[in-house]
Amino acid sequence: MRVLLIEDQADLQRIVRDMLEEEGYAVDTCSDGMAGFARAMSCDYDAIVLDLMLPKMDGRELLERLRERRNTPVLILSALDELADRCHGLDLGADDYLPKPFRHEELLARLRALIRRAAGQANPQIEIGNVSIDTRAKTVSLNGKVVSLTTREYSLLEYLAMHRGRVITRNELFDHLFDEIDEINSNMLDVYISYLRKKLGNGLITTRRGLGYLIPK
């Protein structure tokens, strides 16, 4: 999953970015509202973590302008913690609001929930035949036994499972699994798909030639 973090405090931006990357997210960052809005419009992010008090464009203005064109899930992360601030942020179109200071595990849990709901997947446990995916622990089991996956393998499987029943194009997978600084080779997806099939069985992921990949419902 790919997340855009718009935060002008350099130390906090680094801490949150590192935390998200450790959880397996591809993370792009911006330090002001103008750049953040441009980035948010340029890519179909799985979620945006948005500060409000930003230079060049206030986070509330950014959110208003974003909502005119996109439904990207937005979590406001702000030092403005009054009830009126939280209500205003949600009324502007934010999907969640977490005041600073915050607990890391709470931010991660809220982000997971946002992404699940946006994909129409309310249950954090995804069952596909004999494969079980725990999106909270980011673990995968086959016939009840945990299978060791790399971060990239898990991210690919999770994205396909979250959008089960829909053919996912290669471009969409590249957009959602890699950040702006990742070095991408054209055959990387084929390699990761082959690893997943070796570990979880050939029948889990279907290739649609010329279209993309699919986990059937």
Quick one: pLDDT at residue 179? 83
Give the rounded distance of the alpha carbon of 8 from its chain centre: 20
Query: Do the domains 125-214 and 2-119 match in fold?
Result: no
Question: What are the residues whose beta carbons fall under 8 Å from the beta carbon of 85, sequence distance 6 or more?
Answer: 52, 78
Q: Does domain 125-214 have CATH number 1.10.4010.10?
A: no
Maximum Cα–Cα distance across the chain: 53
Q: In this structure, which amino acid lies at residue 167?
A: V
Angle, vertex CA 103, rays to CA 91 and CA 133, nearest 5:
85
CA–CA distance from 19 to each of 12, 15, 97, 151 (Å)? 10, 6, 18, 14
Question: SS3 for 97?
Answer: strand
Please give the structure tokens belonging to residue 76: 């406001």
Under 8 Å between Cβ of 6 and 48: yes
User: What is residue 178's predicted lDDT score, i.e. its pLDDT?
Assistant: 85
152-169 pLDDT tens trace:
999 999 999 999 999 999
At residue 106, the pLDDT reads: 97
Q: Is the pTM of this model over 0.75?
A: yes
Domain boundaries 2-119, corresponding CATH code = 3.40.50.2300
**Roughly what angle, to the nearest 10 degrees, separates helices 188-200 and 151-162?**
80
- What would you report as the CA-atom Rg of the chain, rounded to the nearest whole angstrom? 18
Q: What is the mean pLDDT of the chain?
A: 95
Mean pLDDT of 33-44: 97
What integer pLDDT is reported at residue 217 of this predicted model? Answer: 86
Structure tokens, 57: 């464009």
**Per-residue pLDDT at 43 exceeds 90:** yes
From start to end of the chain, where are the E strands?
Answer: 2-6, 26-30, 47-50, 74-78, 96-99, 125-128, 131-134, 139-142, 145-147, 206-208, 212-214
Domain ranges of the chain: 2-119, 125-214
